[in-house]
Amino acid sequence: MKKIWACLLVVVCLFCTTAYAKEAPLEIRKSVLRVYGLVTGTGTYRGSASVYGVNPDDRLNDTGIGDWTGSSFVIGHSGDEGTWLVTNRHCVDAEYAEPDLGYLTKNGIKLRNYIYILTKDIDSAIPAEVKYISNRTDLAILYVKSGLSDRKPLKIWTESPDDLVQKTVYSAGFPGAAEDIKSDAAKDKVNSEYTSVTLTDGKISRIIPSNETEVGEVIQHTATINSGNSGGPLVDEDGNVLGVNTWSSVRGNNTFWSVSNNELIRFLQNSHVDYEAGKRVFEITPAVIAIGAVAIVIVILIGLIAHQNKVNQEQNLRIQEALKKRLTQFTSVIVGDPKKKTGSSGTASGSQPNPAFSGGDIASMKTIVADIDKQQASAQSKPAAVPTRALVCDAGVFKGKRYPIANKMVLGRDPKRCDIVFPMKTTGVSGVHCTIQFSGDKVMVKDENSTCGTFLDGKKLPAGQWITLHRGHPLGIGSSDQVFTLHSNK
């Protein structure tokens, strides 16, 4: 039966791998919003050259100097109906994006950035507060008090992006180039409806580590990024955020960069902003269900046929053994004792007829199989030996749990080879860490060449050697964080 269930498990796994992602990239558009920025100046300009329309000796009083647009995406909601968004720093800090503005600040002008989130167009502008700005890379976190509760937060992929090289990704945002086809009146409205989000696809080319850049870890890909895309998400086919779109190359086509998910996670954690980890989500379609159901039925039928064949073989073996036993008895009678004489009646002198030759005895052979079955049932009905020892967890992920030791017990993280299976991310515990088993009336422990070692009474055990485990002595699995002791099984 174990083989049947193993086959069934394989079919289920194949069934799941044929399913496709539930959250299509189109769904992320409802999480992407346009950022609108306005920079104003206050003071008397003392510079000698005109910059951004400001001339020498001009007096400004919160006067508009310039505006721009970018992209952002929802990362979470707070309990007071507020919403957290992620974008690029250069989408909210004009002086950071435009060095020329720094010339104004050095010559008497104080700049101020006004940041808004647009839900439909310029008339739907919602004031946004710049809560956090990264000094490590081009990232910023915005907070909007209300008005975005219907927008779904995106999930962040928490695993390394290295495994995603050559995987399909999507860039989402509001590139300015996409507005060029519009009329001037349409451009002035700065449309920001979710249907106006531009999606481009491409593949991840490589991951550039933080020690090779001045802006942290970067994902290089071919999903097009233009001016206005900045701050939008780079997602996989399940809608998980892999990075934040930030730069494009001026020297070649199809070379774009996004701040990696690792940098984004570090920034969110340092800013104490909550986020939800991404995962692979599968959708089972009717066609896949039909294929899976047929496959499962076939596997079950094959398993039942195999099981029935096994039962028939066992019954045939029992009959053969019974016949062999009877034939042995017949042979011993036919050969007989050389000291005895055999009469004409076929019986030894002075003896009674041997029941091996009686018709009733031959007929009794038909009941042999049933008798054997009864004996086996009687043996199976006897209670199994009760374990006399138990392993009790005193500290760690299984604290308080008791594991009776019947014969052999393997500890580690590999669910296929271990009896006590630790979570995959348990620090210090190897796939197959150590083995505990009875040897006579003693309980022995052996370290299975684990990476961090097995400790008895605080001393590291030599790998591959059986050591006696006495009751009450602490057994450390990889460290002092995972501790077990041997007790009587009461």
* CA atoms of 454 and 203, how far apart (whole Å): 45
Across all residues in the chain, what is the average pLDDT? 83
Phi then psi for residue 82, to 5 deg, are: -80, 165
- In this prediction, what percent of the chain has a pLDDT beyond 90? 55
List pLDDT tens digits, range 157-184.
998 777 788 889 999 999 987 777 877 7
Q: How confident is the model at residue 290 (pLDDT cuts 50, 70, 90)?
A: confident
CA angle 291, 295, 296 (to 5 degrees): 120
List pLDDT tens digits, range 191-247.
888 888 999 999 999 999 999 999 999 999 999 998 889 999 999 988 999 999 999
List pLDDT tens digits, range 467-477.
999 998 999 99
* CA atoms of 488 and 490, how far apart (whole Å): 6
* CA atoms of 221 and 239, how far apart (whole Å): 16
* CA atoms of 85 and 72, how far apart (whole Å): 6
Kindly tell me the burial class for residue 162, based on how many C-beta atoms sit within 10 Å of its own C-beta (0-12, 13-18, 19 or more). Answer: exposed
Domain ranges for the chain = 161-270, 389-488
* CA atoms of 270 and 134, how far apart (whole Å): 10
By the 8 A CB rule, do 439 and 467 touch? no
**For 389-488, CATH number?**
2.60.200.20
By the 8 A CB rule, do 290 and 270 touch? no
- Count other Cβ atoms within 10 Å, centred on residue 457: 9
- In this prediction, what percent of the chain has a pLDDT beyond 70? 81
For 161-270, the fitting CATH number among 2.60.40.1120, 2.40.128.20, 2.40.10.10, 3.30.420.10 is 2.40.10.10
The predicted model gives 436-461 an average pLDDT of: 92
List pLDDT tens digits, range 91-146.
999 988 888 898 999 999 999 999 999 999 899 999 999 999 999 999 999 999 99
List pLDDT tens digits, range 385-410.
567 889 999 999 999 999 998 889 99
Look at residues 86, 408, 416 and name the one whose alpha carbon lies nearest to residue 261.
Answer: 86
pLDDT at position 338: 45
pLDDT at position 24: 58
Q: Matching CATH topology for 161-270 and 389-488?
A: no
3-state SS string over the chain?
A: CHHHHHHHHHHHHHHHHCCEECCCHHHHHHHEEEEEEEEEEEEECCCCCCECCECCCCEEEEEEEEEEEEEEEEEEECCCCCEEEEECHHHCCHHHHCHHHHHHHCCCCEEEEEEEEECCCHHHCEECEEEEECCCCCCEEEEECCCCCCCCCCCECCCCHHHHCCCEEEEEECCHHHHCCCCHHHHHHCCCCHHHCEEEEEEEEEEECHHHCCCCCEEEECCCCCCCCCCCEEECCCCCEEEEEEEECCCCCCCEEEEEHHHHHHHHHHCCCCCCECCCCEECCHHHHHHHHHHHHHHHHHHHHHHHHHHHHHHHHHHHHHHHHHHHHHHHHHHCCCCCCECCCCCECCCCCCHHHCHHHHHHHHHHHHHHHHHHHHHHHCCCCCCCEEEEEEECCCCCCEEEECCEEEEECCCCCCCEECCCCCCCCCCCCEEEEEECCEEEEEECCCCCCEEECCEECCECCEEECCECCCEEECCCCCEEEEEECC
Phi then psi for residue 307, to 5 deg, are: -65, -45
Rounded to two decimals, the pTM is: 0.55
Partner residues linked to 420 by β-bridges: 411
Q: How confident is the model at residue 344 (pLDDT cuts 50, 70, 90)?
A: very low
* CA atoms of 428 and 447, how far apart (whole Å): 13
pLDDT at position 336: 54
